Chains A and B, each alone.
Chain A
């Protein structure tokens, strides 16, 4: 991208944010939202010809490429630790299921946020590269800047990390290394008591 293209992209993102409304946009900062088919600019697209993971059908190509990059950066499981590597957990598949249930409006808001995040690394992050082009160390540093940034940045990073954490830790295979036992009742044969008898009148 040349400078004019970058400027144009940033100003387009800013334009998108105005009608969105600050408060509505911030709302995306919780348990999620997800992108519509909005992200089409160059540099935010997947590598040509790269196959989609099995079980991922709801996320568009751009959402997929962003989360493929974000997941190992934000959750470096199995990298110098005993956790199960993200490559062995269906994180993207689980994310896909979450996306399926989010309203279109919120999903579009989230898409705008992802756009800002992706291109923001050029201007806001001072990395002179889009997020997808950053190496691991720079990508993590950039995510941390958003974690501690302004309210929009904190909100978006909050949503991103909660989506990723929920999609990883919901898989029982991830629990063993942290000593979490998971479900209790059935494994321990605890009987159901059922309904209480109606009180005597």
Chain B
């Protein structure tokens, strides 16, 4: 008898608030994983494919791509944490994270960088991550790159918006390159961060999650982990609630007994869960060392139509200043739809009308900096969260350099004025004005609009239990059988888009777990 024909468009076989049996549910598995983003999905597949029974819990909803409307506000509200309004305590850093099956991989711009060599060197030298060199990680990088169709953008995948970044760099003698993306047969819709409606982006939703299900993993959506079960010093399960996303009512409680627990909820939710449970924090480092690549969205008006919302959201980047010795920042040519760009308006009244009317002539870039790990995710007394983060004083020169060089690049590409991403409306009308504007920039609250697409670093990995939460194996220093596999592991910020680093770490950690199958699962 032949295997049933695979239907790539069939809905995933997942349990949600709509179809879970109400009441108390119990499940026994080898591994329970909390969070279905880049880390959780990869770990789920790698472990299920090795014969482990796996339960994957996702607090967000299952939203198939057929429901991606390509309307930004709707998708922000449906697919993002806190409906797209998660911020630091001050309110001037919007911290974007996916909250849906597939996590942030569903709503990222598909930009795929390997961890920079100098970052791995730092991790190796200062945090004892001796296994993580470019050479040792190469096969893991290669595996995920192959599976996710990661390739350098071809010429047709570079929009006019991204080409302007290249033009400006060329005119200034700066280095620039096409970015690599996890995408197959890109339809150039321009809606990467609203979810890819035609499944070209190789997010977890269309890759590792269906593969994990095919390998036997059970997936629960609308299901938030509330308790990590521990016996003695060993994690042995998770308790969770399945909540109707429309009513907020608990439909079922789920107790998953397991031999291994993996937390992969991301750099905000993972430390919160540990803090709620008072676990793995002998170092006092849980929630600390938060970094987020505070990004400036620099816009510029040109004397011709660009229609920057067309084509790949991110096509190229400037790597001239990537190494910390040269500044420690990069620029990516990036633009989105008008219904999202309206939020970046530099003014009100007729200033807003001018901005929106000129939007088709406006190009955008974002800066990413290698920021210091000065933030902290805290649990509030009422069980809520607070993200404490402000740009470090030491990073102010970098922020200024970002704005200065970003403006120079745009003017070199032919811009007629540059829009500063500030609360107070500030325009730069010519190259001559750049320094005067940039030198006025301070770190006072609510001066600049920052967006973090990459929260990281709240449960850092390291060999020293006194200043790290997680061992180089992915297992916490304090609790046996409790692993972490998400961007909270990063000992430092990595400057570039982090998804490939997370995929790779999760692959590595799953392999280490599989290699200990006899010890952890009583199996071969």
Q: Which of A77, A154, A170 contacts B353 (CB 8 A)?
A: A77
Cβ of A29 < 8 Å from any Cβ of B?
A: yes
Cβ of A39 < 8 Å from any Cβ of B?
A: no
For chain A, what secondary structure do more than half of its interface residues adopt (helix, strand, loop), or is it mixed? loop
Nearest Cβ on chain A to B339's Cβ, whole angstroms: 5
A32 proximity list for chain B (CB < 8 A):
85
Q: Which of A151, A183, A201 contacts B49 (CB 8 A)?
A: A201
Within the assembled complex, what's the spacing in Å between the Cα atoms of A140 and B191? 34
Nearest Cβ on chain A to B364's Cβ, whole angstroms: 14
Number of interface residues of B (CB under 8 A): 73
- The answer to whether A166 touches B73 (Cβ under 8 A) is yes
Q: Which residue of A lies closest to B357 (CB)?
A: A178
Within the assembled complex, what's the spacing in Å between the Cα atoms of A158 and B87? 14
- The answer to whether A195 touches B8 (Cβ under 8 A) is yes
Within 47-81 of B, Cβ neighbours of A (below 8 Å) are at: 49, 65-66, 68-74, 77
- The answer to whether B360 touches A199 (Cβ under 8 A) is no
Stretch with Cβ within 8 A of B (4 or more), from A45-53, A117-125, A126-134, A185-193: A185-193
Residues A192 and B9 in contact in the complex (CB < 8 Å), given A185-B70, A201-B49: yes
- The answer to whether B65 touches A192 (Cβ under 8 A) is yes
Within the assembled complex, what's the spacing in Å between the Cα atoms of A161 and B347? 9
Stretch with Cβ within 8 A of A (4 or more), from B105-113, B182-190, B292-300, B495-503: B182-190
Within the assembled complex, what's the spacing in Å between the Cα atoms of A171 and B339? 8
- The answer to whether B189 touches A185 (Cβ under 8 A) is yes
Stretch with Cβ within 8 A of B (4 or more), from A6-14, A58-66, A68-76: A68-76
Range of interface residues on chain A? 35 or more
A36 proximity list for chain B (CB < 8 A):
none
A31 proximity list for chain B (CB < 8 A):
83-85, 87, 94, 343
Cβ of B309 < 8 Å from any Cβ of A?
A: yes
- The answer to whether B353 touches A83 (Cβ under 8 A) is yes
Within 4-56 of B, Cβ neighbours of A (below 8 Å) are at: 6-10, 12, 49
**What are the 10 closest A-B residue pairs judged by CB atoms, nearest first?**
A194-B8, A183-B70, A31-B85, A180-B338, A169-B342, A185-B197, A184-B189, A154-B423, A27-B91, A195-B210
- The answer to whether A185 touches B191 (Cβ under 8 A) is yes
Could you write out 25 A-B pairs with CB less than 8 Å apart? A26-B446, A27-B87, A29-B423, A74-B349, A75-B352, A83-B356, A147-B425, A162-B343, A165-B342, A165-B352, A178-B356, A180-B337, A181-B310, A182-B339, A185-B197, A186-B197, A190-B197, A192-B65, A193-B184, A193-B185, A193-B206, A194-B7, A196-B206, A196-B210, A198-B211
Within 60-117 of A, Cβ neighbours of B (below 8 Å) are at: 73-77, 81, 83, 101
Cβ of B139 < 8 Å from any Cβ of A?
A: no
Nearest Cβ on chain B to A148's Cβ, whole angstroms: 4
- The answer to whether A169 touches B356 (Cβ under 8 A) is yes
Within the assembled complex, what's the spacing in Å between the Cα atoms of A161 and B54? 46
Within the assembled complex, what's the spacing in Å between the Cα atoms of A75 and B77? 23
B309 proximity list for chain A (CB < 8 A):
180-181
- The answer to whether A179 touches B360 (Cβ under 8 A) is yes
Residues A147 and B89 in contact in the complex (CB < 8 Å), given A170-B339, A196-B207: no
- The answer to whether A30 touches B348 (Cβ under 8 A) is no
- The answer to whether B200 touches A193 (Cβ under 8 A) is yes
- The answer to whether B65 touches A30 (Cβ under 8 A) is no
Residues A197 and B6 in contact in the complex (CB < 8 Å), given A169-B339, A169-B342: yes
- The answer to whether B352 touches A193 (Cβ under 8 A) is no
CB-defined interface of A25-42 with B at 8 Å, one 1/0 digit per residue? 011111110000000000
- The answer to whether A155 touches B91 (Cβ under 8 A) is yes
- The answer to whether A76 touches B350 (Cβ under 8 A) is yes
Cβ of B439 < 8 Å from any Cβ of A?
A: no
Cβ of B506 < 8 Å from any Cβ of A?
A: no
A191 proximity list for chain B (CB < 8 A):
198
Q: Which residue of B lies closest to A155 (CB)?
A: B446
Q: Which residue of A lies closest to B382 (CB)?
A: A105
Cβ of B509 < 8 Å from any Cβ of A?
A: no
Q: Which of B10, B187, B211 contacts A185 (CB 8 A)?
A: B187
Cβ of B424 < 8 Å from any Cβ of A?
A: yes
- The answer to whether A73 touches B73 (Cβ under 8 A) is no
Nearest Cβ on chain A to B38's Cβ, whole angstroms: 16
- The answer to whether A147 touches B348 (Cβ under 8 A) is yes
- The answer to whether A144 touches B349 (Cβ under 8 A) is yes
- The answer to whether A180 touches B352 (Cβ under 8 A) is no
CB-defined interface of B437-480 with A at 8 Å, one 1/0 digit per residue? 00000001111010000000000000000000000000000000
Q: Which of B12, B423, B447 contacts A147 (CB 8 A)?
A: B423
B352 proximity list for chain A (CB < 8 A):
74-75, 161, 165
B202 proximity list for chain A (CB < 8 A):
196
- The answer to whether A198 touches B214 (Cβ under 8 A) is yes
Within the assembled complex, what's the spacing in Å between the Cα atoms of A78 and B208? 49
Within the assembled complex, what's the spacing in Å between the Cα atoms of A177 and B337? 14
Q: Which of B83, B88, B90, B206 contacts A194 (CB 8 A)?
A: B206
- The answer to whether B360 touches A178 (Cβ under 8 A) is yes
Q: Which of A26, A77, A161, A192 contacts B445 (CB 8 A)?
A: A26
